[in-house]
Copies of this chain bind each other. A is one copy, B any other.
Amino acid sequence: MTDANRPIHMDLSGVPDVVILRLPMYVRALSQLLDAGSEVVNSHRLGRLLRITPAQIRKDLSYFGKFGKQGQGYSVRFLRNELRRILGLDRNWSACLVGVGNLGQAIINYPGFAPEGFSVVAAFDSDPALVGKPVRDIPVRPMSDLDAVISEGEVAIGIVAVPASQAQSVIDQLVDAGVRGILNYAPVAPSVPDGIVIRNIDPALSLQSMTYYLLQDDSRPV
């Protein structure tokens, strides 16, 4: 009962998706703690920082191993490094951007990607007026270059910042070219083949669900 029938926690496909979604939050909080000079932390404090219950944090971590010491807590540095390794953030990830309009340019200039090992190595646009003029050192290429650049450059991630009407077609092209993850900013629910990971960034949907709750407690005088 102690060691014979161990749980299959190392079964990687068995970790719930919600757990994976929380790990980056842990990494971020741990980095902050480290910056603030904390070398150890317990699940209670980490939970307060992220507004997550301590039990949740301990359970999440238990899917991957034992990282803490009873009575003390976790080494901030060690836990952060382990989580970064688990998430694959200890390596570099090349991404390409499709769509260099307002939004696309903001994405290229967004400083939040680089720190965790993501770099946009190429950009594409169907508008000839945009092609050729680099944005922040990143060359803007025609769509016809997409396939070659992705397959030759080991680009694993495609970032989609095109109008809704073109999004599915662009995503199909990215997948065909060999991209394995899609970060989609277009307001659509795209379909991708099995094995392709997609994340949608959709502020309009966020606002539209928010208003439901704003309607509820109109108790206070506006």
Q: Which residues of A contact B (CB under 8 A)?
A: 12-13, 20-21, 23-25, 27-29, 49-51, 86-89, 93, 95, 102-103, 105-107, 109-110, 112-113, 116, 118, 154, 156-157, 178, 180-181, 183, 187, 189, 191, 195, 197, 199, 201, 203-217, 222
Contacts and interface: CB of A to CB of B under 8 A. Distances in A.
Contacts of A27: 208
- 3 closest Cβ pairs, A-B complex: A24-B208, A106-B106, A199-B206
A20 B199 contact: no
Contact of A187 (B28, B106, B178): B28
A116 B217 CA distance: 21
Given A103-B110, A113-B204, A210 B199 contact: yes
Q: Tell me which of A107, A181, A209 has the highest count of chain B C-beta atoms within 10 A of its own C-beta.
A: A209
Given A21-B209, A183-B207, A216-B13, A102 B113 contact: no
